[in-house]
Amino acid sequence: MSLAKESLLENLMEYSLEEALESYQETEEFAKLEKKRDQAYKELEEKFDDDTYSFIMKRVDICNIRLEREGYFLYRQAFKDCVSLLKQLEIIR
C-alpha cells in the first residue's frame, strides 16, 4: 500500500473513532456512567485525606490510560480487519 493510501486510511480510522466516541458520549449509558464515576470520585475524596486521595487517583489514572489505549488499539485493529475482509471478499480493492 502506498504511503498516501496508508495516510488516508489512518486519517479515516482516526475520524471514524472520533465520530464513534462522540456518538457514544451522547448516549444515556455514557451519561449514567459519568454520573457514577463522578460520585465515586467524590466518595473517595471525602473518605481519604489529600495525600491518600492523590495516591489513589494517580493509580486510577494509570488504569484509565491503559484501558483507553487498549480500546483505541482494539478499535483500530477491528477497522483494519474489516478492510482486510472486504478486500478478501473482493468488495473493495
Distances (CA, A) of 13 to 22, 64, 79: 14, 22, 7
Looking at the chain, the whole-number percentage of residues with pLDDT higher than 90 is: 82
Instruction: Report whether 79 contacts 13 (CB < 8 A).
Output: yes
Question: What pLDDT is recorded for position 1?
Answer: 65
- The span from the CA of 4 to the CA of 11, in Å, is 11
Query: For 53-62, what is each residue's pLDDT tens digit?
Result: 999 999 999 9
Helical (H) or strand (E) element with 40: helix 28-47
What global pTM score does this model have?
0.74
Grid look-up 488499539 returns 73
- The span from the CA of 38 to the CA of 44, in Å, is 10
